[in-house]
């Protein structure tokens, strides 16, 4: 069994901005807990200033699960940017 200090989203959130493994140029920003029990908002920041965010239920607390969701969000944003760059 993992301890909350070592293997949870809360431990990642306390560490501040950190790189996202598998997402070159992207880092986590601040994690925000809306209420005592409620969704966690995860900020994503690219080194050029672009950003995105997503929210997960508070039971999603494994950093690897959050990383996988972050990669999906980053991929979708970059795909959208590519389409926008083509004028459409």
Q: In this predicted model, what pLDDT tens digit does every residue of 15-32 receive, in sequence order?
A: 557 899 999 999 999 888
pLDDT tens for 25-54 read 999 998 888 777 789 999 999 999 999 999
Helix (H) or strand (E) holding 32: strand 26-33
pLDDT tens for 60-80 read 989 999 999 999 999 999 999
Residue 7's contacts (CB-CB under 8 Å, 6 or more residues apart) are 62, 63
Predicted structure pTM score: 0.76
- What is the distance between the alpha carbons of residues 17 and 64, in angstroms, rounded to a whole number? 16
Each domain of the chain, given as residue ranges in start order, spans 4-85
CB burial of residue 28 (10 Å; 0-12, 13-18, 19+)? buried
């Amino acid at each position: 069994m993992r301890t909350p200090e070592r293997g949870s989203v809360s431990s990642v959130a306390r560490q501040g901005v950190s790189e996202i493994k598998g997402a070159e140029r992207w880092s986590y920003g601040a994690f925000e807990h809306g209420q005592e029990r409620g969704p966690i908002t995860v900020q994503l920041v690219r080194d050029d200033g672009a950003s995105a965010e997503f929210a997960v239920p508070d039971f999603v607390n494994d950093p690897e699960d959050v990383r996988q969701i972050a990669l999906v969000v980053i991929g979708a944003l970059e795909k959208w940017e590519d389409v926008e760059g083509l004028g459409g």
